[in-house]
Each structure stands twice: as C-alpha cells, then as structure tokens.
Amino acid sequence: MDYQVSIVGGGITGALLALYLGKAGIKVCLIDKNKPSESISNPAVGRTASLNLSSIETLKEAGVWNIIQQNSKTFDEIFVWDSEGSSSVQFKATEISRNNLGAIVHNNIILEALFKEVKKISDVHLIEEESVENLTDDRDGAVIITESGLKITSEIIVGADGSLSRIRDLSKMSIRTWSYHQLAIVNYMIMEPRLENSIFIKNLQFQILTYA
C-alpha cells in the first residue's frame, strides 16, 4: 500500500482535503494534471470565490485564513431583488450579531495559501503534471495508473477533479444533468457615493452580481 488516501485534483477542494488529512497524520498522495502549486506573479486575477462564514471557519481550522484574509474583502450586507422590482430581501451581519457575512477573494490566492502549507507536511506527496489513465483495484487496494505509467495504490481514492471528472468516468458513476439556461455576470464597481461593504444581486433572465 503506497498511501492511505489518493486525491485526484489539486484545486481548492483537493488541496484543502490533502491539508486536513496530512495534518491528521494520514499518508496522502495529491495528483494533478497541471501544476497548481506553482506561484504566479499576480494571484489577484481570474476567478473569485464568495466565502460564507462556514467556509471561512474551515480555512481558519486549516491554518490558512490568516494568509488569505489580508487579500480578501469582507461584506456585511446582501441585497437581492427580482427583475420586476416587485420584491426584495436584505441580509445584514448585525442581524446575526456578526461583523460580516463573508468575504470575496481570488481563487488563486486561496490556492497559493493552501499549497504553502501542504508543502510543509511530510505525509502529503504531491504529484503534478500527471494525468490519470486508468483506475482499477487489486488485493492491496484501489490502483491509479497515470499516463506516464506510475502505479499508485491506496485504500481510498477521492475524485476532486471537477465537473468533467476522470475518476468519476473511470468509476462508471452515472450522473444526471440539465441546463438552467442561465448566465451570470459578475462586476466590480466603485460607486459614488461609496456603498460600503455590500453585495447586490438582481435576478433577471441571467443573474448579475455587483460587488461594491
């Protein structure tokens, strides 16, 4: 048995799970077809995540929120209304006796913080630029075969490789999907006067989320 757990997919989910398991003394192999641990010159680009309080608490428990927090923007109000303007709802942090409802942060910043900690843990073995070719099992456990011919055996395999999961396909897990026929546009706007730390969501045929 090479590892107790093999995780395929080094995105936020896979890296966070590897960090949690590694800190618990579990021998982990984290595999990704790209090189997610590589630092980029400007991590504050690309996709962003809206983290709720539960997600922030999870990152605190993992020991990375103090790194992420300095590059995040908190919000304390959320406004939602429909396209006809007939109804709306507002959420305030003060209503639950909290200072904020969450934070906006770039995914790259979260990943950079996670891999900074993952690399410190000897029980986590990181294999990058390797794609999964096949998945099988033998008497020693579940076996991953990579495109370069690596054979990785573990008790448990976790597929954290996204919506087009190779692990799911190789495991022959059936799924059911459908389209909501919706699009989303996310804007960052500087308003005059300033609207403080608020999120505005208007439900149209497509959804517009504006963060001010």
- Chunk the chain into consecutive blocks of 10 residues (it has 212) and report each block's average pLDDT, rounded to whole numbers: 93 97 97 92 85 96 95 89 75 94 94 96 96 91 95 96 94 87 68 66 54 50
Q: Quick one: pLDDT at residue 20? A: 97
Q: Quick one: pLDDT at residue 180? A: 76
Q: Quick one: pLDDT at residue 140? A: 85
Q: Quick one: pLDDT at residue 44? A: 79
Q: Quick one: pLDDT at residue 197? A: 74
CA dihedral over 183, 186, 189, 193, signed as positive or negative: positive
Give me the residue label for tokens 């641990």: 37
Contact assessment for residue 159 and residue 167, using Cβ atoms and an 8 Å cutoff: yes
